[in-house]
Amino acid sequence: MFCKKTDAEGNVTEEKAQLCVRGFRQIKDVDFHETFAPMGCLATLRFLLGYCASNSFDIQQMDVKTAFLHGDLDKDIFIRVPEGYVPTMRGDDEITSAFNMKDPGDLEYVLGMKVTRNKSMKTFSLSQELYINSLLNDFGMQYCKPVSTPLVPSSRLNPFSNEEANPASINYGRAVGLLNYLVSCTRPDITFAAYCLA
């Protein structure tokens, strides 16, 4: 799988190739028994930002490179390496870089949200302007006209009547999912519109 890593402003910083183990071929209770990935939730993030703001604590962001490689497993995992694969790293190289940390400094972006701090007012503000612009570009709406009310409460949505507005032609489910993420993070004002579209 090929992917591009971007910085906080959306500029491409790295292009990577990743080897994907075909986990989709695993059978529950034969090849694995449970799946779990510890992650914080938005409520926890909001609590931490509020707590740090009210107590004037500084927030730094850290990134442990390859942290996912250091989890403890109680079972052995085997993979078949694809033909032509040439390893780029030996075991001793892996050990020396095991906990290489990247320190980007003060918290500026988290989960696609820009974090702005006002120390004198003891506040943090979250915004997703870059995410919104990316979403609009993905769906060809970068030149749409902003409105103050996303959907008038008395509006009635009708089934699509032409091919251009067909939900299948715009990946409707993906669009609604992206809007719901926006609602849950920084835009509760569009909740009703996202609900109606879902």
Q: Indicate the Cα dihedral angle 91, 96, 98, 103, nearest 10°.
A: -150
Higher pLDDT, 138 or 35: 138
Q: b/e map of 87-114 (b: 16 or more CB within 10 Å)? A: eeeeeeeeeeeeeeeeeeeebbebeebb
Whether 7 has a pLDDT exceeding 70, the answer reads yes
Q: Which of residues 7 and 125 earns the better pLDDT score?
A: 125
Confidence grade of residue 67 (pLDDT, cut at 50, 70, 90): low
Among 8, 9, 13, 37, residue whose Cα is nearest residue 23: 37
Average of pLDDT values for 147-166? 71
Task: Give CA–CA dist 104/91, Å, rounded.
Answer: 28
The proportion of the chain whose per-residue pLDDT surpasses 70, expressed as a percent, equals: 74
Is 70:107 a contact under the CB 8 Å cutoff?
Answer: no
pLDDT for res 92:
46
Average pLDDT, the chain: 79
pLDDT in tens, 83-130: 887 776 555 455 445 555 566 678 888 888 999 999 999 999 999 999
Give pLDDT, residue 95: 45
The structure's pTM equals: 0.63
- Residue 11: how many CA atoms within 13 Å on its side-chain side? 2
